[in-house]
Amino acid sequence: MDKLEIIGKPPGMPGTGLVGTLPIRGAKNAALPIQCAALLASDLTRLRHVPKLTDVSTMNRLLREVGCAVEVIADTDGRTVEIDPRGVAQGSLEAPYEMVKTMRASVTVMGPLLARYGRARVSLPGGCAIGARPIDQHLKGLQALGAKVTLEHGYVDLEAKRLTGGRFLFDKVTVGGTQNVMMAATLAKGHTTLENVAREPEVEELALFLNKMGAQISGAGTPTIEIDGVDELRGIDHAILPDRIEAGTFAVAAAISRGDVLLEHAPVDHMHAIIDTLVAAGAECRVEAGGLRVIGPERLRPFDVVTRPHPGFPTDMQAQIMVLAAMADGASVIRETIFENRFMHVPELNRLGANIVVNGNTAVVRGPTKFSGTTVMATDLRASASLVLAGLVAEGTTEVRRVYHIDRGYEAIEARLCPLGAQMSRYHGGGA
Ligand code: EPZ
């Protein structure tokens, strides 16, 4: 298993701040559901600005598994993917356990397969490091459109000759549930109203993509989405929007290192809660023509954060913002309201010298911290990003193990940060 070695530069040492321009890549959480949406089309879809991440490759493998022809176009630096679903009708229409256990987002093929081919069989996702993460809302939503749902032997079987439009109120705001049911409703007979939906930019981006294919969706980005079903959707060419979470992660890197970084193409309109928190901590955030410029201050101020569905503060930035809090002069309070077990990074950050106390879903972070490098273990994608951030400003060397977690959501992180002044190297087969 790979490991990352980071030679830290505590802020204040001469020439330590990260400086330069960093282009932000396409968003993982926009690319994955859009790859699934290509199943709805009657012909080929071309996706550009696709991030080179292991999760994207896993989704390509799953699409091939259900019968798609998927080609990653080499001469575009591997950032263009062509998906042709014309072979699916003869395929298994099944997302097997081996795939779903590797990547939960595999369940997002459920809605498109059911709507387009009348059947889908998907392994039930087991638990996950950050929480139980059931899919009950996905299934209830599809049942509201007339799907017959059977759970057996760890799999869910869904059937419907043709789905019928209806009204569904989500009991809980869910990104994946909204995306699955919205996609299914595009080919249902009649009108569908979805209430208490997720308003994440990735939901809006998916609706934009579906409408370009010929769907009739309105209200994405608001609590209620309206869909008029159509008979057919066609393949299109689409560029994936930049990743707000990747941009937020690197913004924290600039702020804690007293750096000055231009995050090229950063989707500022999707980052208000993140930017507000950085500014509250004392960082300077300037919207410039090319993107978002983040300048780290001499001293950071403490702040409070509560994670919430969009437009609230994103849970996918919680671990990273905890490192910012650890560098601040005073106590910050961070409350996690989306996932019940998303503080796995805390013991590892405390091993690096932080002073974080967790009580239920609330963490009290006392700073300023003088991080000191040691060996730490990544437990999930965003937790691993927080360990890399702490390692950047730690005294001495930090070894982050199990970096396969970070490769799921950050493309070649060391190759992106080293040109800005970071000292990071990757070692293959670096032990468990
Ligand atoms: C998406 O996951 C993202 N993943 C997650 O990002 C992100 O943390 C999450 O949304 C919240 O913003 C992708 O887009 C691929 P949810 P998703 O359904 O769709 C509960 C990352 O780091 N729930 O909005 O799985 C659930 O348990 C990843 O990039 C139900 O109870 O999240 C959770 O507590 C991690 N029943 C809450 O809702 C359901 O049927 C929100 O989950 C569905 C969800």
**Whether residue 169 sits in one domain with residue 34:** yes
Q: What's the gap in Å between 228 CA and the centre of ligand 1?
A: 26
Please indicate, yes or no, whether residues 272 and 414 belong to a single structural domain of this protein.
yes
Ligand 1 cavity residues, CB under 6 Å: 28-29, 32, 104-105, 131-138, 172, 174-177, 198, 202, 315-316, 338-339, 381-382, 409
Asked if residue 8 and residue 62 are part of one domain, the reply reads no
A 10 A CB-CB count for 135 gives 21
Co-location of 302 and 315 in the same domain: yes
Phi, psi of 8 (to 5 degrees): -75, 160
Q: What is the pLDDT of residues 30-63, one digit of tens each?
A: 999 999 999 999 999 999 999 999 999 999 999 9
The model's pTM: 0.97
Q: Whose CA is nearest to atom 14 of ligand 1?
A: 29
Which of 188, 209, 239 represents a domain boundary (last residue)?
Answer: 239
Q: How many CB atoms lie within 10 A of CB 384?
A: 29
pLDDT tens-digit readout, 133-153: 899 999 999 999 999 999 999
Q: How many CB atoms lie within 10 A of CB 26?
A: 24
- Residues 253, 358, single domain; the answer is yes
DSSP letter for each residue of 62-78:
HHHHTT-EEEEEGGGTT
CA of 354 to the centre of ligand 1 (A): 28
Q: Which of 221, 239, 257 is the last residue of a domain?
A: 239
Q: How many residues does the chain have?
A: 432
The contacts of residue 415 (CB under 8 Å, 6+ apart) are none
Residues 227 and 246 in one domain: no
- Residues with pLDDT less than 70, the chain: 75-76, 429-432
Consecutive H or E run containing 178:
helix 175-185
Instruction: Determine which residue's CA is closest to atom 16 belonging to ligand 1.
Output: 174
- Model confidence over 392-431: pLDDT tens digits? 999 999 999 999 999 999 999 999 999 999 999 999 865 5
pLDDT value of position 78? 76
Confidence (pLDDT) at 32:
98
Domain shared by 14 and 56, yes or no: no
- Looking at the fold, whether 250 and 172 belong to one and the same domain comes out as no
CA–CA gap between residue 234 and residue 334 (Å, rounded): 45
3-state SS class at 193: strand
Same domain, 369 and 282: yes
CA 29 to ligand 1: nearest atom: 14
Q: Does residue 399 share a domain with residue 300?
A: yes
> Among 99, 95, 107, 103, which Cα is nearest to 136's?
107
Biggest CA pair distance of the chain: 67
Sheet holding 3-7, edge to edge: 375-377, 397-401, 3-7, 424-427
Tokens of 305: 């954060």
Q: What is the pLDDT of residue 190?
A: 98
- 222 and 189 in a single domain? The answer is yes
Beta-bridged to residue 218, according to DSSP, are: 226
Say if residue 119 is in the same domain as residue 201: yes
pLDDT of residue 431: 54
Over the Cα atoms of the chain, what is R_g? Answer: 22
User: What total of structural domains would you count in the chain?
Assistant: 2
Domain region containing 250:
2-25+242-428
Ligand 1 centre distance from Cα of residue 243 (Å): 17
Report, as residue numbers or ranges, the catalytic residues. 128
Q: Strand order in 237-239's β-sheet?
A: 69-73, 80-84, 45-48, 237-239
Task: Report the CATH number at residue 220.
Answer: 3.65.10.10
Choosing from 207, 239, 271, the residue where a domain stops is 239
